[in-house]
Chain A
Amino acid sequence: MDASNYLYISALLFTIGAVGVVVRRNAIVVFMCIELMLNAANLSFVTFSRINGNLDGQVMAFFTMVVAACEVVVGLAIIVTIYRSRRSASVDDASLLKR
């Protein structure tokens, strides 16, 4: 088995996450799919770190994790705020700008 097999898994997970962002309607599930995409990118970083034999990729993955944690905190706060005003967590209901 070659180390690049992890890259294929990473590409698949990223694609699945991207489909989830487009297809699912619940804002929280959409958010989890974004997390899945970030995780897939992290797996690529770690695998490239191993292939190239230095730790820079792992440091990048560490930074991605921190930024993802920030994004989750702010994003979930936004979802809670939208839910408070609209009583719905569906991404289709927040369409005031369209009308």
Chain B
Amino acid sequence: MQLALEVGQTAKPEAVMFWILGPMAVVAALGMLLVKKAVHSAILMAFVMVVLAIFYIAQDAVFLGIVQVVVYTGAVMMLFLFILMLVGVDTSDSLTETIAGLRPIAITAAVGFGGLMVALLGRATLGRQAVGLAQANTDGNVEGIAYALFSTYVFPFEVVSALLITAAMGAMVLAHSQRTTARPTQRQLSIDRFRGKSLGSAAGLPGPGVYARHNAVDVPALLPDGTPAPTSVNASLQARGDMLDYKSFDLAEVNTQIEEEK
């Protein structure tokens, strides 16, 4: 398949696509560094990966483009999001620098490195005529890659398969956690509740608040003396900062008026 019409000088539609998607990919990658929440970084990363897949397909690497979508945006980014939900929900990433002066040094080094690369590329590829993949892809891109993979690169291919199996084993070993203490029985839990330091939670923790204007798991219940009970809201909601203030649903002034009329 020959998508680039001219060899060397790419066709007009590809240039249009490049100048639209290229800056968007760079902006998304920069956004990855600047946004605060890791989930937003993951979404921007997925966007960059999709743009790269389009670039691959535009450059006659059809097989790699599809693999990029399936493996990266499909599997790897889903794995990232999965781990983010497991780990990173209550860990807010602060953008303050912990090592003094790290950020200016990093940005200076990056500008230097990027400038060096761009300058090098500008000199290295000057006047070079690109060959294009028309001849290499005559039997089709997938067939061409398969031929290279199973003839020239068959030994690296087998080594990589061993690497994949080892990685899967390693992940299972790392993620496996063994209990160091026995699981507490119901009897033990009951004894701990009643013979513990305080009897406050002997009857179980209170449920979240039920209010006239709001009835949800994110508002703390009120104790008999009118103070809110933060223990009534789920700990992970508190950690995320999603616990609402009960005062916005308080009907105090309405209550007192009715009392005074009587």
Residues of A with Cβ closer than 8 Å to B? 1-9, 11-20, 22-26, 28-29, 31-33, 35-36, 39, 42-43, 46-47, 49-56, 58-59, 61-63, 65-74, 76-81, 83-84, 88-90, 92
A58 to B8, CA, bound (A): 18
Q: Is there a chain A Cβ closer than 8 Å to B216's Cβ?
A: no
Q: Which of A42, A58, A81 contacts B175 (CB 8 A)?
A: A81
Q: Does B76 contact A (CB under 8 A)?
A: yes
How far, in angstroms, from A8 to B133 measured CA to CA in the complex?
A: 20
> Is A43 a contact of B118 with CB atoms below 8 Å?
no
Quick one: which of B15, B33, B42 contacts A20, CB cutoff 8 A? B33
Main secondary structure of the interface of A (DSSP, over half): helix
Chain A CB within 8 A of B198 CB: no
Given contacts A11-B121, A32-B45, A77-B175, contact A19 B33 (CB under 8 A): yes
**A to B contact number (C-beta, < 8 Å):** 235
Q: Which 4 A-B pairs have the closest CB atoms?
A: A53-B131, A70-B167, A1-B15, A77-B174
Which bracket fits the contact residues of B? Answer: 35 or more
Partner of A24, one of B56, B67, B93, B110: B93
17 A-B pairs in the complex with CB atoms less than 8 angstroms apart: A3-B10, A5-B18, A7-B125, A13-B26, A16-B30, A17-B29, A26-B88, A26-B93, A29-B93, A39-B72, A55-B148, A65-B64, A67-B163, A71-B167, A72-B79, A73-B167, A74-B170
Q: With a CB–CB cut-off of 8 A, which chain A residues contact B232?
A: none
Residue of B nearest to A82 (CB): B87
Most buried by A among B86, B98, B167: B167
CA distance A28 to B79 in the complex (A): 11
Cβ of B211 under 8 Å from chain A: no
Q: Does B63 contact A (CB under 8 A)?
A: yes
Given A20-B33, A62-B67, A74-B171; A80-B83 close (CB under 8 Å): yes
From A16, A32, A78, A80, B80 is in contact (CB under 8 Å) with A32
A81 contacts B174, C-beta separation under 8 Å: yes
Q: Is B191 an interface residue (CB 8 A)?
A: no
A1 touches B10 (CB 8 A): yes
Chain A residues, CB < 8 A from B110: 15-16, 18-19
Given contacts A13-B48, A61-B64, contact A76 B22 (CB under 8 A): no
Q: Check A46 against B168 for contact (C-beta < 8 Å).
A: no
Please give, as numbers and ranges, the residues of chain A lying within 8 Å of B86 by CB-CB distance. Answer: 80, 83
